[in-house]
Structure 1
């Protein structure tokens, strides 16, 4: 039996057959967040990034999603395009990445995990800006 302390330095846990934990995914999400174009960064202040294992049943039901593996990320908040100057005092905007569905997509799709985390994060941030899917693809290409 091995533990994390027996991993060779610099070798990711996934290379040894261990799924990256929530802290590892959060670090990837933070790194991706930092690559956002400077023009967008002032509008991202206060956006909270969270990692959860799966979406809860209530969230899945509200989105009409039957299986928890089908939701890799979620934006919660009011898009900038729908805000009023009078609106204030609400909960902070939040992007949640769901670890297990992301890992399943990573295994099934063969993309690099940091790329996939970045992809999901940028898609959800796109909702914060009120972007269409085409706009989100352009944003991802810029980041």
Structure 2
């Protein structure tokens, strides 16, 4: 069974989960916006989130006036994978931590080691 949650309610859950993250994780986010989209461009339901930008470790290539980096959270893949709001919140938490880690320059291999991918 797939959860049915509208875009505004989903965005509110994302904000709530962001607010629950540790301050030291989110305080360092610089020039980053969080965006909710229904699905990735390829239309798949396999991708829960995407970090679109330069990792902090690569910001030496970063210029003045850059557009903000984006952390995209995909609504439909989350809803397809979760049966309860509690599962959805857990998955949102994991997705947010995963994408924020990419901002800090932590790759997927290290995230697997840490249990976040």
TM-score by length of 1: 0.66
Give the Å deviation of 1:130.
Answer: 0.8
C-alpha contact (below 8 Å) 1:49/1:96 kept by paired residues: yes
In structure 1, the partner of 2:47 is 71
Task: Point out where structure 1 has 5 or more consecutive residues left out of the alignment.
Answer: 1-16, 58-66
Q: Distance in 2 between matches of 1:136 and 1:21?
A: 31
Q: Quick one: which of 2, 14, 23 aligns to 1:38?
A: 23
In structure 2, the partner of 1:6 is none
Confirm or deny that 1:91 pairs with 2:67: yes
In structure 1, the partner of 2:58 is 82
Structure 1 stretch 81-90 or stretch 118-127: which is displaced more?
81-90
Aligned pairs, number:
114
In structure 2, the partner of 1:56 is 41
Confirm or deny that 1:115 pairs with 2:100: no
TM-score by length of 2: 0.79
Give the match's secondary structure for 1:126. helix
Q: Deviations over 1:36-69 (max 9, x none)?
A: 3222333214421111111113xxxxxxxxx611
Q: Distance in 1 between matches of 2:35 and 2:46?
A: 18
Q: State the 4+ residue runs in structure 1 displaced beyond 3 angstroms.
A: 132-140
Q: Deviations over 1:65-119 (max 9, x none)?
A: xx61111111101000111186222110111111111111114x99611111111
Task: Point out where structure 2 has 5 or more consecutive residues left out of the alignment.
Answer: none
